[in-house]
Amino acid sequence: MGGALDGLKVIDLSRVLGGPYCGQMLADHGAEVIKVEPPQGDETRLWGPPFDDEGISAYFAGINRNKRTIALDLSKPEGRTVLLRLLDGTDVLIDNFKTGTMEKWGMGYADTLSAKFPRLVHARVSGFGADGPLGGFPGYDAMIQASSGLVSVNGSPDGGPVRIGVPVVDLSTGMNACIGIMMALYERNRSGKGQFVDATLYDSAVALHQPHAPNYLMGGQKPKLVGNSHGSLAPYCNLPTRGRNIVVGAGNDGQFRKLCQMLGKVELADDPRFKTNKDRVAHKVELEAELRALTKDRDGESFANELMQNGVPSGAVMEVSDVMDHPHTRHRNMVWEKDGYRNVGNPVKLSRTPPGVRSKPRKFGADTKAVLAERGFSAAEIDTLIASGVALTSIKKA
């Protein structure tokens, strides 16, 4: 059985992370995704080490599986003509060019593509969008983390603000673009018309400010750096053990009482300083000191599991290598393997049409000739396009 999106045709013009991640989400669920790279290739092909035995970087491999790969020089009119032929019958176009680029090429959605391909859904991933005070500016994850306020709420009082250690803005923007595409396709079932999907890193980052934005907008409360703690919940903290540290979160009074019982000091739950969450937040420093003294001689990983078994949310602080080899990661099919390819699986599980890895990431231009031939280009046309540098099967050297 094919995936849920079997039959959906996607052209992915995007590079680096947000757009390609969106394209991979669609491809994992069965969409036919054709990745169109510029002559120099997607920058992430060079972001390494490590590289596999075909020279494909791990960074590129993590977000470009299940795609066919071609290369076109869209700066040339002939390249844009080829792209227009490829778009005939295509359902979704993804790009993350600098805003205004497609319009400059005479391929803007409003002016050209919507009229020529009325059922096309065109999704753009950009830093800040096309207009407004920051419109048109380029954006990378770390810079948007800073300008959106995410860096300001991450870190400890003594260490200061710190960038979040994974590209959460890029990834969430790719997810939002994917959600927007699916919404537009669902609406197309009623109207018969496609539309433009505008997904920006800035919007996605601002939308992640839970609970900081509601706290500020409702009560004027500005967030403070809390490190491994929580501004409105206690205990919710990182505690030492004689093995791995553990993170414990008691979301209600019952969970806190159970935690105290398992730590052998149930009287803490009746201490006036700690009876309710409001009390515990007000006396968080004293509470965390009490808990650290009670956990320091425990075995972290086994105690975290014991807490979970008794209804207290907790987790040992695992490293990436531990997580990739963890039996629950395997049970959840979150590491995919095929023909020597190993990478993180797709988190969206469907019961009848599950996602899967059909093809590992491809070398630059591996499918250029085949895709053009399938789309009606003659052998002579393909040879001419390659000879003139409009279509490519190997990376153009700088």
What residue spans of 41-167 are helical by DSSP H? 58-61, 77-87, 101-104, 114-116, 141-147
Distance between CA atoms of residues 359 and 362, nearest Å: 8
Element (H, E) at 150: none
Q: How many CA atoms lie within 13 A of 285 on its CB side?
A: 0
3-state secondary structure of 58: helix
What is the C-alpha end-to-end distance of the chain, expressed in Å?
44
What are the backbone angles phi and psi of residue 11, rounded to the nearest 5°?
-110, 120
| Residue listed under structure tokens 């990834």 | 171
Burial class (CB in 10 A: 0-12, 13-18, 19+), 318: middle
Strand partners, 9: 32
The identity of residue 304, as a single letter, is A
Contact of 21 with 63, CB cutoff 8 Å: yes
Angle at 77 between CA 120 and CA 66, to 5 degrees: 50
Those residues whose C-beta lies under 8 Å from the C-beta of residue 172, and which sit 6 or more positions away, are 204, 205, 207, 208
Please name every residue paired with 98 in a beta bridge, in sequence order, or none if there are none.
none
224 in Cβ contact with 231 (< 8 Å): yes
Catalytic positions, written as ranges:
170
Task: Quickly count: other Cβ atoms within 10 Å of residue 322's Cβ.
Answer: 13
Handedness of CA 287, 292, 295, 299 (dihedral sign): positive
Report CA-CA distances (Å) from 282 to 213, 237, 345: 21, 15, 42
C-alpha of 380 from chain center: 41
